[in-house]
Amino acid sequence: MPAVPAEAEPLDVLGVPGEINLDYAATAPCARAAADAVAELLPWYASVHRGAGALSRRCTLAYERARQTVGDFFGARADDHVIFTRNTTDALNLLARALPAGTTVVTFAGEHHANLLPWPRGSVRLPVPADSGEAVRALDAALAELRRAAQPGLPVLAAFTGASNVTGERWPVAELARVARRHGARIAVDAAQLAPHVPVDLLALDVDYLAVSGHKLYAPFGAGALIGRSDWLDAAQPYLAGGGATARVGAGTHEVTWAVGPARHEGGTPNLLGAVALAAVCDALSDADRAALHEREQRLLARLREGIAALPHVVELRTFEPDAPRVGIVSFAVAGWDSSEVAAELARKHSIGVRDGLFCAHPLAQRLLTEAATRSGRRDLPPTALRASIGLGSTEQHVDRLIAALATFA
Ligand code: PMP
């Protein structure tokens, strides 16, 4: 049974006693606030935007209230839409489909596949930078070049991550946004890994679009969001054609007037439970002392990284300098060991869950493994890596257990 004490706080997370989850970056455990919001809805949920019954009307209100909460939490402006999606991948694919014809997207090679693969042909992929200053300079130069070469008036979108899912390193979002803005480009931030760790605000960062996943933000699976400027979204073909996305459909085959607003891209019956759970976490995080949460996480992260650094057979993967700001994610390789074997043994012998592989960021992970081998002088690093990631439910004991377990692979 999940271990949730009766007096649990909204941001306590559910878990299974004895199982150490150090894989928050893949999917974070469910926060008490989200579990409570779902439990409250279960007895009375009914259709959203479709029924006339009292329960259905109440559900429609709950769904739209969730939209407002999520928008407020991420600093949505008056002309932004909050579109509920399945996850970040879905949100970025939706944005890719809504780009005006001829849009060039500029991104970095170190992105998660969700922010590499949806973009149209002709997109520019900048090399992985050596530090955050280089990232800003590279974007500046690429956008200047595009402005010279591209047809005037064609849109440009700079799309980059807020924090790397491989290294946890934070990207200089505000600086990159400032540069993009100066060149007249729009800005999309993949906030899948940033949002669970620090406040992310569209207005404060001056970015146009944010993509987030509820399941990385302590809500259950199935709900994410694309939040951002309404004009392209309202002009685009609906992401999912069908019921709910239409204002009117006539008898003729092509006689259809699509809805304007979030509904245009939310065809089909909406995921009320997912939206409400995500909103509940947003509310709980809004009420929390996020600076204190951040400080606690940074202490645990430092303990984790110091523990790894003290193991001569374990090499950390990183793009930037060791002290660059980062969220609670560390990737590493164990010399002489296949990463999947290490992960399996951590699970079997130590009840510790981590991730192994290339983390859906193959170009970056492969490059960092090669660099790690050069930096450490170890010729026996494996071709894939391991990743430990922490969050609200992580403790010093979890970190220490991982380090002690990794020591046994010497
Ligand atoms: N971007 C980043 C930075 C991620 O870490 C992830 C998930 N690993 C995604 C996008 C995709 O998220 P999802 O699988 O929830 O669509």
Note the pLDDT tens digit of each residue in 20-56: 999 999 999 999 999 999 999 999 999 998 888 999 9
Tokens of 253: 């085959």
pTM above 0.95, yes or no: yes
Cα(111) to centroid(ligand 1), Å: 10
Instruction: Examine the predicted complex and report whether its ipTM is higher than 0.90.
Output: yes
Tokens of 244: 């709910």
Task: Please check whether residues 93 and 219 belong to one and the same domain.
Answer: yes
Task: Please check whether residues 125 and 253 belong to one and the same domain.
Answer: yes
Beta-carbon contacts of residue 78 (< 8 Å; ≥ 6 apart): none
pLDDT of 5 strictly over 70: no
Write the CATH number for 76: 3.40.640.10
Q: What are the CA-CA distances from residue 254 to residues 233, 244, 257, 263 (Å)?
A: 21, 17, 9, 19
Which is more confident, 151 or 174? 174
Residue 1's pLDDT is 47
Task: Please check whether residues 238 and 221 belong to one and the same domain.
Answer: yes
Number of separate domains in the chain? 2
Cα distance between residue 10 and residue 277, in whole Å: 12
Q: Quick: pLDDT tens for 182-211.
A: 999 999 999 999 999 999 999 999 999 999
Residue 149's pLDDT is 85
Which is more confident, 244 or 212? 212
Helix residue ranges per DSSP H, 310-392:
339-350, 362-376
Over residues 198-225, mean pLDDT: 98
Residue 6's pLDDT is 56
Helix residue ranges per DSSP H, 193-323:
202-205, 230-235, 272-287, 290-309
Candidates 236, 232, 241, 165; CA nearest to 196 is: 165
In 3-state terms, what secondary structure has residue 143?
helix
| Inter-helix orientation angle 339-350/396-407, to 10° | 120
Instruction: Tell me which residue range forms the domain holding 318.
Output: 20-30+289-407
Residue 3's pLDDT is 52
Tokens of 404: 């002690």
Candidates 88, 90, 125; CA nearest to 105 is: 125
Task: Count CB-CB contacts under 10 A for residue 65.
Answer: 13
pLDDT band at 151 (very low <50, low <70, confident <90, very high): confident
In 3-state terms, what secondary structure has residue 132?
helix
Task: Please check whether residues 159 and 202 belong to one and the same domain.
Answer: yes
Cα(191) to centroid(ligand 1), Å: 9
Nearest CA residue ID for atom 7, ligand 1:
26
Q: Quick: pLDDT tens for 61-98.
A: 999 999 999 999 999 999 999 999 999 999 999 999 99
> Which of 89, 94, 218, 356 gets mutated to test ligand 1 (max ligand atoms within 8 A of its CB)?
89
Is 360 an annotated catalytic residue? yes
Residue 52's pLDDT is 86
109 exposure class (CB count in 10 Å sphere: 0-12, 13-18, 19+): middle
Q: Quick: pLDDT tens for 104-132.
A: 999 999 999 999 999 999 999 999 999 99
Q: Quick: pLDDT tens for 278-310.
A: 999 999 999 999 999 999 999 999 999 999 999
> Which of 84, 90, 92, 165 gets mutated to test ligand 1 (max ligand atoms within 8 A of its CB)?
165
pLDDT mean across residues, the chain: 95
Q: Is the CB of 190 under 6 A from ligand 1?
A: yes
Q: For 340, phi and psi rounded to 5 degrees? A: -70, -30
User: Does residue 1 fall inside a structural domain?
Assistant: no
Cα distance between residue 216 and residue 193, in whole Å: 7
Write the CATH number for 402: 3.90.1150.10
